Amino acid sequence: MKRPIYLLLALLLLGVSACSSMDAPGSVEDVDLLPDMENIASLYLDGDDDYVEMDEVDLEDPLQLAGEPFTVSAWFRQEAGGDPFQRIVDKSDGPLAHNGWALAADPEEGRIHFYIHDGESGADFASSSGLYAAGEWHFVVAVARADRLEIWIDGDLDTESRYESGAHTLPAAAVTGMRIGTWNHSNGREWQGWLDELAVWNTALSPKSIAILHAARGRADLAGSCDVYAQAGNLVGWWRMGSGARLLADPTAIAWSVEDHACGARTGSLRPAHGPRLDVGEVP
Ligand SMILES: [Ca+2]
Ligand SMILES: [Ca+2]
């Protein structure tokens, strides 16, 4: 459906983005895009001892996600081999995301695990096997709705996902640590490969928003407004793994920080300090 020219002019005069509209499945036109130069790097972790320390998440922090629907998404490219329960992100104080939530990926089986624990009991919600292949970029979205969990890969819902253990629940309110690329309480679940555009919302994203974000391949302005992708106000964490302008202005930033562009401004510390690297030129 084409818009009359006077309507386009009116939208331009009002400063309204072209993202508004259309009933087609989500496309890049449904979201504000950042310039390509803003996504020039991703995070590489070696699967041995590399991770990003995000420090303690206190009770007032929106990353608690306590008792409410939420969404975690990330672009990833995993190398073959390594640990079968490699963490993309983990906010917890024990195995199986005890007292919190976590997202993991098994490169051998090509399976995603979405863990949630409410303080008393938990869920290990796992995708089907062979859902993705190592060595390629993929987009995972884990959604905790009020009554069920979902795992989406590359824009499609995995309808075969099921509980390896436990049943549906939502996260506890608990002070725990948080890390990108491993779990919290000991070594052993280190990520081997690349991570990019890790994002967390304190709401369950719609299927259409998931399709839009997949189509944008890491270039969506998650903090931007749009009447189709309308979750900017629910964005509680967004780790771009080095934005273009910042990296180019200060290349030394590579050595120590991963900037959070969302409301929480939670900046991670690379561990060990000269281990993980922001990999310029490697993006989804
Ligand atoms: Ca990036
Ligand atoms: Ca290392």
Q: Is 262 exposed, middle or buried (0-12, 13-18, 19+ CB in 10 A)?
A: buried
Ligand 1 centroid – CA 92 distance (Å): 25
Cα 155 from Cα 177, distance rounded (Å):
30
Ligand 1 centroid – CA 43 distance (Å): 8
Per-residue pLDDT band at 253 (split at 50, 70, 90): low
Which ligand is closest in space to the CA of residue 191? 2
Q: Are 230 and 32 in contact (CB under 8 A)?
A: no
Ligand 2 centroid – CA 210 distance (Å): 33
Give per-residue pLDDT as tens, 70-92. 999 999 999 999 999 999 999 99
Specify the 3-state DSSP secondary structure of 127. coil
User: What integer pLDDT is reported at residue 264 of this predicted model?
Assistant: 58
Give per-residue pLDDT as tens, 94-143. 999 999 999 999 999 999 999 999 999 999 999 999 999 999 999 999 99
Ligand 1 centroid – CA 222 distance (Å): 12
Specify the 3-state DSSP secondary structure of 232. helix
Cα 40 from Cα 248, distance rounded (Å):
10
Ligand 1 centroid – CA 283 distance (Å): 6
- Of these ranges, 40-44, 204-208, 230-234, the one predicted with the greatest mean pLDDT is 204-208
Contacting residues for 221 by C-beta, under 8 A, at least 6 apart = 31, 32, 33, 34
Closest CA to 72 of 97, 98, 103: 103
Ligand 1 centroid – CA 280 distance (Å): 9
Ligand 1 centroid – CA 278 distance (Å): 9
Give per-residue pLDDT as tens, 20-68. 444 456 777 788 888 877 888 999 999 999 999 999 999 999 999 999 9
Ligand 1 centroid – CA 218 distance (Å): 7
Ligand 2 centroid – CA 72 distance (Å): 26
Ligand 1 centroid – CA 202 distance (Å): 21
Which ligand is closest in space to the CA of residue 284? 1
Q: 25 has which bridge partners?
A: none
Which ligand is closest in space to the CA of residue 182? 2
Cα 43 from Cα 277, distance rounded (Å):
6
Domains, the chain, ordered by start: 27-280 (2.60.120.200)
Q: Quick count: other Cβ atoms within 10 Å of Cβ 8?
A: 13
Helix (H) or strand (E) holding 277: strand 277-280
